[in-house]
Structures are given as structure tokens and as C-alpha cells.
Amino acid sequence: MDKIKIEDMKKIIKNMIKVIIDNEVYFCELDSVAGDGDFGMSISKGFKELEKNWDEICFDNIGSFLKDISLIISEYCGGASGPIWGSAFRGAGKYAKGKEELNLFEFSELMQSSVDAIQKIGKAKQGDKTLLDALIPATESLKLSAEKGIEITKAMNISAKEAREGAEKTKDMVALRGRASYLGERSLTHPDAGAMAIGIIFTDIANKF
């Protein structure tokens, strides 16, 4: 495969919906150690709404598709997840405006647009113990694969591995953002729930792509 088309993007988001809903309880358990314990429920709420309104989404092109998703996620994901995940989809949608397909380089740029949007709203950086600790290495991996001319499916598997490893590394970090930051040094040894979610989502998508 050398292009990601709108049908591929629909498949990616469908997988994302399923893995988030299937892991709702697990994500809450991860978050209960150093957060409010509602991360799984908060994010699942938005993706359940997305599934419910699937037929109302614009599928004309990748940009419109992601923009419509951002509106639902922003409105229905609870807590901090709505603004953060909604911004990620909005940033991706802006990058892909009018595009009906993406090569691997363009896909890596789309992911970078999501990272930029999250950082713009949350001011977090890599090492703060957030979902960015999985999302940034996964995005950098896609860029590197594009430079090397690696085929998309293989690149996504490599990216998923980087996301999982990035998530695992959050166990050795002190949280500097979000509710977990209140725990200071006590947040050590516990992985960040958002980063773990990114690792699990990327892995599921790569396995089924």
C-alpha cells in the first residue's frame, strides 16, 4: 500500500472506536492510580456518540471527515479529554482539508498537526507524562519511515511499537500535567493512562490495517 484513502481512514477510525469502547474499564483502572479514574468513561462517551452518529459524518474527503469527528469528540468526550482529543482531530482535519488520499509523508504530517494542536491547547511537552509521550515518538517514527521509503503498513507497525514503548517509559516519569501532577514523586512507577491508550489504539490499528 502506498496511499491512505478515505476508506482506509474510515477503517482506522472504526477500529479506534471499537478499541476505546472495549477498553473503557481498563482505561479507568489505569487512571484510578494517579488520576480521577474516569478517563476510560470520559473518552468512551465521545466515541460511542461518534459511532451513533456515523452516518451523519461527511465522507467527501479526509479533511471533512476528520473535522466532523472533531466536533463530536469535542462536545461529548468528558473532562479534559474533549478539548485534547477534539483538538487532535481538528488539527488533523485542517491538514487534510480537501485531500482524498495521503502518502506516508503526508500521513506523518497529519499526525504532527494533531500533536501541534494538542500542545497548543495543553502546553504539554514530551516528558510531562501525558499521551504525548506515546504520540510524539509514534509520529516521529512515521516521519522516519517516510524518509526511508518504508511501506505504509510496515511503517504503522513500527510506529505502534514506538507508541507502546513511549507509554511504558511514562512509568519512570513524574507527572507535570493534569491531576496526576498533584501526586509529584508518587506518580512514579505508574504509567500515564492517556499514553497507554495511545499505545493500545495504535497497536490495534496497525494489526488490522
Q: What is the DSSP letter of 127?
A: T
Say if residue 22's pLDDT is above 90: yes
**Residue 50 CA: distances (Å) to CA of 65, 88, 199:** 12, 15, 21
Mean pLDDT confidence for 176-200? 77
pLDDT of residue 162: 98
Tell me the DSSP string of 34-48: HS-S-HHHHHHHHHH
pLDDT tier at 180 (50, 70, 90 boundaries)?
Answer: low
Tens-digit pLDDT profile for residues 34-52: 677 889 999 999 999 999 9
Cα 87 to Cα 84: distance, rounded to the nearest angstrom:
5
**CA angle 128-133-135, nearest 5°?**
140
Cβ-contact 135, 198 below 8 angstroms = yes
